[in-house]
């Protein structure tokens, strides 16, 4: 041990806390998460994409065919799996805060940061998209305001917050790097 020619397996692995981005849809979790992972040389995981890959169907189809309850169950299982690993940047689904166990698990395993934005900024960012089942319907602005209001206390309970409304993704990434280091 400690000899110059020690085999690689004897060298302690450097472990790094996870960074978990939570927050409402359209607050920039995926964009910022990818930037953070690239800057830190860490793996990036987007929870929704991983669930889609494993289920072989989109989140919208899981909601439509299996119901929201099934999606929340898949989300819960993935939170448990990801919380057991280190060195990753994770863009969590916007609804993980609905189950306090998700936030507790992620908080034990790393730095959890909640991205927030005004309903107007969110509408501007997601208004033209059609893959978010909870925002389906004619009046997207109303849906966004309703869901934000219903979840306000859950998002507000997360100690680390970044208001992304006036910031570029690069600026948000910079703020989170400051919190992490």
CA distance 87 to 67: 32
94 contributes a contact to ligand S3P by CB under 6 A: yes
Angstrom distance (rounded) from CA 160 to CA 102: 16
Interface with ligand S3P includes 174 (CB under 6 A)?
no
Is 134 a binding residue for ligand S3P by CB under 6 A? The answer is yes
Asked whether 31 and 101 are in contact (CB, 8 A), the reply is no
Smallest separation (angstroms) from ligand S3P to the CB of 81: 16
Both tokens of 71, joined, read: 């999606």
- Per CB under 6 A, does 169 bind ligand S3P? no
Query: Shortest distance, CB of residue 25 to ligand S3P, whole angstroms?
Result: 4
Report residue 178 as tokens: 């400051």
Can residue 132 be called a binding residue for ligand S3P (CB under 6 A)?
A: yes
Binding mask 13-32 for ligand S3P (x = CB under 6 A): ------------x---x---
Q: How far is the CB of 93 from ligand S3P (least distance, A)?
A: 3
Strands 18-23 and 110-116, how do they pair? parallel
CA distance 145 to 123: 10
Interface with ligand S3P, residue 175, by CB under 6 A: no
Residue 26 beta carbon to ligand S3P: minimum distance, rounded to whole angstroms: 7
- The three-class DSSP label of residue 133 is helix
| Range list of β-strands (E), 27-166 | 43-46, 88-91, 110-116, 160-163
* Sole binder of ligand S3P in the list 95, 105, 117, 162 (CB under 6 A): 95
Q: Is 59 in the site for ligand S3P (CB under 6 A)?
A: yes
């Amino acid at each position: 041990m400690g000899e110059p020619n020690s085999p690689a397996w004897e060298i302690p692995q450097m472990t790094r806390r996870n960074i978990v981005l939570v927050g409402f849809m359209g607050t920039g979790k995926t964009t910022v998460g990818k930037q953070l992972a690239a800057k830190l040389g860490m793996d990036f995981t987007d929870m929704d994409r991983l669930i889609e890959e494993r289920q072989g169907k989109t989140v919208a189809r899981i909601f439509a065919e299996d119901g929201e309850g099934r999606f929340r169950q898949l989300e819960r299982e993935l939170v448990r799996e990801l919380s057991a690993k280190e060195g990753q940047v994770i863009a969590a689904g916007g609804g993980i805060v609905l189950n306090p166990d998700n936030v507790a698990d992620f908080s034990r395993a790393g730095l959890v940061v909640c991205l927030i934005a005004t309903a107007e900024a969110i509408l501007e960012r997601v208004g033209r998209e059609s893959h978010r089942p909870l925002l389906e319907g004619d009046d997207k602005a109303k849906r966004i305001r309703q869901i934000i209001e219903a979840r306000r206390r859950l998002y507000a309970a997360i100690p680390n917050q970044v208001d992304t409304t006036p910031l570029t993704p690069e600026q948000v990434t910079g703020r989170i790097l400051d919190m992490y280091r």
